[in-house]
Amino acid sequence: MNNSVQVSATIPDWSREMPERGEWQPGRELMRSLRGYQRARTHGWFSSLFISRLWVLAHRFWSAVAGTDIPINTEIGGGLAMPHPNGIVIHADAKIGPNCLLFQQVTLGGNEHGAPTLIGHVDVGAGAKILGKVTIGAHAKIGANSVVLTDIPEGATAVGIPAKIILPKGDQKREKSEG
Ligand SMILES: CC(C)(COP(=O)(O)OP(=O)(O)OC[C@H]1O[C@@H](n2cnc3c(N)ncnc32)[C@H](O)[C@@H]1OP(=O)(O)O)[C@@H](O)C(=O)NCCC(=O)NCCS
């Protein structure tokens, strides 16, 4: 949740999810298996059927290690960061745009109306739950342990249960000096 560097909401930064050599990074390994599977499935060759089965095994292994439930076919834009992947649960119909960040224990859950969409560069704090067919705008932030039940506009910060939009302290100071 670092504002100092502007992260794109549309152009994936693949370095955010590539495993680094010699590092213990279950979240990145999990993403690698998911990408490998989805890539293999786009080829119609017989060999890619075999390769995709190997990626399924890798995905199951890393899901167990990380304690996550992220279906292997989930639509995820490049650059998804999960620094502490424990307890992350994502509905199979959820859509995640480029360069999003999910902290531990985040749920993107579905209901009878559908599942959440994160447009791009959305940061979701630890333990937050985003439920139903809601859209979280680009560059939005969701506070730790919040429960989001409605759409959140681009660039907004939402906290609480149910989540409400707040002005972060930096913006409050700017508003006072301008007004
Ligand atoms: C939502 C968040 C991004 C806001 O950060 P910020 O822009 O610096 O906002 P501030 O700290 O200035 O807080 C603004 C207001 O929202 C409240 N607030 C902030 N986060 C909150 C949260 N998660 N739940 C409820 N209220 C929260 C603050 O108490 C403050 O209220 P006030 O104006 O009445 O004093 C941040 O608080 C947060 O939750 N980040 C998640 C980080 C995380 O999960 N890290 C895990 C690392 S392992």
pLDDT in tens, 58-115: 999 999 999 999 999 999 999 999 999 999 999 999 999 999 999 999 999 999 999 9
How far away, in angstroms, is 161 Cα from ligand 1 center? 13
How far away, in angstroms, is 8 Cα from ligand 1 center? 22
Asked whether residue 179 is assigned to any structural domain, the reply reads no
Please give the number of the atom of ligand 1 that sits closest to the Cα of 158: 1
pLDDT at 47: 77
Place of tokens 């992220």: 70
Please give the number of the atom of ligand 1 that sits closest to the Cα of 170: 12
Asked whether residue 2 is assigned to any structural domain, the reply reads no
Please give the number of the atom of ligand 1 that sits closest to the Cα of 125: 44
What are the distances in angstroms from CA 111 to CA 41, 45, 62, 90, 91? 28, 36, 27, 12, 9
- Beta carbons within 8 Å of 133's beta carbon, 6+ residues apart: 110, 111, 113, 114, 115, 116, 117
Residue 91 contacts residue 118 (beta carbons within 8 Å): no
pLDDT at 23: 96
Q: Supply the CATH number for residue 35's domain.
A: 2.160.10.10
On the question of pLDDT at 173 being above 80, the answer is no
Range of the domain at 109: 14-167
Helix-helix angle 26-42:46-66, to 10 degrees: 160
How far away, in angstroms, is 172 Cα from ligand 1 center? 13
How far away, in angstroms, is 115 Cα from ligand 1 center? 25
Asked whether residue 9 is assigned to any structural domain, the reply reads no
Asked whether residue 1 is assigned to any structural domain, the reply reads no
Asked whether residue 37 is assigned to any structural domain, the reply reads yes
pLDDT at 4: 46
Q: Does the predicted TM-score (pTM) go above 0.85?
A: yes
For atom 42 of ligand 1, which residue has the closest CA? 125
Asked whether residue 138 is assigned to any structural domain, the reply reads yes
- Beta carbons within 8 Å of 21's beta carbon, 6+ residues apart: none
The residue whose CB lies within 8 Å of the most ligand 1 atoms, and thus the one to mutate among 100, 104, 169, is 169
For atom 27 of ligand 1, which residue has the closest CA? 159
Q: Starting at the earlier edge strand, list the strands of the sheet with 164-166.
A: 101-102, 123-124, 141-142, 157-159, 164-166
Asked whether residue 136 is assigned to any structural domain, the reply reads yes
Q: How many domains does the chain have?
A: 1
Please give the number of the atom of ligand 1 that sits closest to the Cα of 141: 3
Confidence of residue 128 (pLDDT cuts 50, 70, 90): very high
On the question of pLDDT at 2 being above 70, the answer is no
Place of tokens 């680009």: 138
How far away, in angstroms, is 141 Cα from ligand 1 center? 9
Asked whether residue 41 is assigned to any structural domain, the reply reads yes
